[in-house]
Structure 1
Amino acid sequence: MIRRINSVLRQASLVFAGSEALATYARQFNTSNTYVIPTSYERILDPTSNRTVEPITIGWIGNTGNMFFLDMIDEAMAAIQKQFINVRFSVMSGKAPEGLKTRWELVKWSKQAEDSWLRSIDIGLMPLKDDKWSQGKCAFKLLQYMAYGKPVVASAVGANHQAVIEGLSGFLATTTEQWKKSIEKLVSDPALRMTMGRKGLEHFLENYERQHVQKKIQISCMRTIQNTALDEKIDTRPYHKKDIAGSALNRFIRVV
């Protein structure tokens, strides 16, 4: 499978990578035609501002196979839960976490329930292990939180560095103490939650909103097709845009 992927990368006229780590890998096989195009998420028509009522809800969303990431921040979150009686922890997944000190309340995932759950939380979390697998991740959880105007705390790993504007839209954390201090600041300051949530939403709309990303893809595709047409001396004048440079387009389609 890996050999086949590498072969496709070598032959591709255009390669889109969702993170810098993935782009670095792809450029081993296709140096000049690899571009970082971030993962996107839909625009929310009525994103809610952070609530000022209690309890303050700290949330994590993900599949059960990634629930082990919560182990990494359990000590910090348990300390927060003990320190602040007005804080609750909510997880949206297939089952509740097991064997943790932190008490997480489960909301079972469904497409219908996802919207109301994202509106209900006040702070979004994305812990990651600093390994090659996580470095290739594309910060999708953060995009969900940001699209709803929520401040975030995330591991300083991979695409999280680009998704989080440190100190403005949220915090990046590595150590247990950093996780604890970041949450303390947000729990203790409703105005900070509001300000960071708004900044995160702005950052999302400018860089990750689906139509914005689709436009970047469109521009990259047309530029590559036109450049290839010139290299191959294909006369594009008689053709509609969708028919331009057929040989280049065919090579691109194989990758998409």
Structure 2
Amino acid sequence: MPESPHANTIWTVVGFTAYPWEHALASLRLVEPIQQAGLRFIQGNLYDQVFLETISAADLVVIQRDFPRWLDAYLEVIARTRAARVPLVYEVDDLLLELPETHPDVAIHYYTPALLPMLHAILAADALTVTTPALAETLRPLNQSIWVLPNYLTDRLWPLREPVPRPAGTKVVLGYVGSDTHQPDLEYVAPALTRLLERFDGRLALRFWGSEPPPALRTHPAVEATPLQILDYAKFAGYFSTLQADLFIAPLVDSNFNRCKSSIKYLEYSASATPGVYSRVPPYEMVVKHGVNGFLASTPQEWESCLARLIEDQALRCEMGRRAQATVREGWLLSQHAHEWAEAYRQVQVSLQAQRTSRQKQAYLQLIARVACQARRYQDSLVDRVARQEGAAAELAARLEQSQRELQEISGSRAWRLIQDLWRLRLALIPHGSRRERLVTWLLERMMAMRSQH
């Protein structure tokens, strides 16, 4: 490979994401760490509108998560990046290629159009950056060049604060903050939460921010849900700091997908020195010391037991919350670790000079790109077919509505009322099945026969 004109120096990074730039995913993984690392960051797109001219200023290009869903735009970015001879990094923080069947996004096929393009990005990238060792090991067979850059707490947005004392005699508030994609995780702990509400009747309240409670709890008088539509991560951090909760939960069903997730929820909960109970899965096992700075639980019985201890013991809540916050302060602040992004990118650039993409790999990438294009065209044809069918259904619905209005007009008219009166009179004079009806029918038939003869 020819030497890059930007060799051995990373100053400007151009990023491409499928999300608004103020969104948590873009903020946590691109904007904040890159800028705090002292690098210049340029936004390379706004949804599927790409600004290809930005690549000419790039020392490194980063593509995030499902940006490749916009296949044409993505392939243009790949081509322009290769032409500029700068490193290409694919950034992903979830195992999106292996969503569990119970994940809500599977039911709506949200990521389905992006799967082949994302696979292409994993294989085409000069390096991957991921959030956890588990995710790195899962993706390593597809791309050997992987750097683990953990999620850290953006302390510029999340100042560590002292816990606010709760007035004596108030209910203990058990909270959860997250999106509706975690419904399967919440349903997993619902039995334990139900038993706790019975056990601490009148002393415990459950608060859900951003997600609906599990179905079994939605009508309980001690359960409250607050919808959240805050896409701006900075605004979300500010809103979070106003929440009043004595303890938090972070359940995750044990699956390969969840094992690859990060501990960001622990960091956000702990910023306010609030203790919590977390699933005993790798993302939380790497930061939670059971019984010291949090609790780990893997069965409904363990969930109930750990939560009950925190509900009953205010001193334990305060001490565990302070230890959790100390854990974050001592090793999980972005300001302490932003330099890792600059170091990883420089290593990518250095290692790239010794790499050469094989003809076989190029053939694989070209094949995947062609298959992805065919799949996209087929998907577009299905969308078009559905749109036509929906149009036809809308037209039929409009005709039906018009017919119903006409029937209503007829049924309310004087002529229709007269017809109904005449029909009732006919039934009174000539009842159904009567000899009189048979006689009238015979006379009418005879009259019709005589008329046809003439």
TM-score bracket relative to the smaller structure: 0.7 to 0.9
Separation of aligned partners in 2, 1:189 and 1:209: 29
1:14–1:48 CA distance, 2 compared to 1 (3 A) = same
State the distance in 1 between where 2:310 and 2:214 align.
24
Partner of residue 139, structure 2: 26
* Equivalence for 1:39: 151
The CA deviation at 1:127 is 0.8
Partner of 1:67, secondary structure, is: helix
Give distance in 2, aligned partners of 1:13 and 1:206.
33
Amino acid of the residue matched to residue 240 of structure 2? E
The change in CA–CA distance for 1:130 and 1:198 in structure 2 (over 3 A counts) is same
Aligned mate of 1:107, from 223, 226, 229: 226
Q: CA deviation at 1:96?
A: 4.8
Equivalent position of 1:78 in the other structure: 194
Partners of 2:160 and 2:271 within 8 A in 1: no
Shift of 1:153: 0.4
- Please tell me whether the aligned partners of residues 37 and 213 of structure 1 are also in contact (alpha carbons under 8 angstroms): no
CA–CA separation in structure 2 for the residues paired with 1:183 and 1:192: 11
The answer on whether the counterparts of 2:293 and 2:320 sit within 8 Å (CA) in structure 1 is yes
| Pairing 1:116–2:242 present | yes
* Alignment match, 1:155: 279
Contact 1:20–1:158 (Cα < 8 Å) also in 2: no
The one-character-per-residue Cα deviations of 1:82-105 (angstroms, maximum 9, x if unpaired) are 222322111001545433386421
Change (3 A) 1:3 1:225: same
Whole-angstrom CA distance in 1 between matches of 2:162 and 2:180: 27
Specify whether residues 159 and 75 from structure 1 end up closer, same or farther in structure 2 by C-alpha distance, changes over 3 A only.
same
1:191 positional shift: 2.0
Say which structure is richer in helix.
2
Deviations 1:159-180 (A, max 9, x none): 1211322221111101111001
Matches within 5 A, 1:57-96: 57-84=173-200, 85-93=202-210, 95-96=212-213
Report the count of equivalent residues: 228
Using the TM superposition, give the Cα deviation of residue 125 of structure 1 relative to its aligned residue in structure 2, in angstroms: 0.5
Given that 1:122 and 1:151 are in contact with CA atoms closer than 8 Å, whether structure 2 keeps it comes out as yes
Identity of aligned pairs, percent? Answer: 20
Superposed, 1:205-244 pairs within 5 Å as 205-226=329-350, 228=352, 231=354
Question: Aligned-pair RMSD on alpha carbons?
Answer: 2.5
Amino acid at match of 2:183: M
On the 8 A contact 2:190/2:216 being kept in 1, the answer is no
Match of 1:9 in 2: 122
The residue identity in structure 2 corresponding to 1:116 is T
Q: How far did residue 52 of structure 1 move?
A: 4.6
Residues 186 and 193, structure 1, Cα contact 8 Å, conserved in 2: yes
Q: Distance in 2 between matches of 1:203 and 1:106?
A: 29
How far apart are the structure 2 equivalents of 1:123 and 1:45?
19
CA distance in 1, matches of 2:271, 2:340: 19
Unpaired runs of at least 5, structure 2: 1-113, 231-235, 356-454
Q: Secondary structure at the match of 1:16?
A: strand
1:200 aligns with 2:321: no
Cα shift readout 1:1-21 (whole Å, capped 9, x = no counterpart): 445434433444432211222
Q: Distance in 1 between matches of 2:307 and 2:205?
A: 12
* Paired letter, 1:42: T
User: Are the counterparts in 1 of residues 249 and 278 from structure 2 also a CA contact under 8 Å?
Assistant: yes
**For residue 161 of structure 2, what is the amino acid of its counterpart?**
P
Note the alpha carbon deviations across 1:110-158, whole angstroms, 9 max, x for none: 43643311xx111110111111222222233222101221111011123
Distance 1:11 1:113 in 2: 39
Q: Residues 154, 91 of structure 1: CA spacing in aligned structure 2 closer, same or farther, 3 A cutoff? A: same
User: How far, CA to CA, are the matches of 2:352 and 2:329 in structure 1?
Assistant: 32
| Bigger mean CA deviation after superposition, 85-94 or 8-17 | 8-17
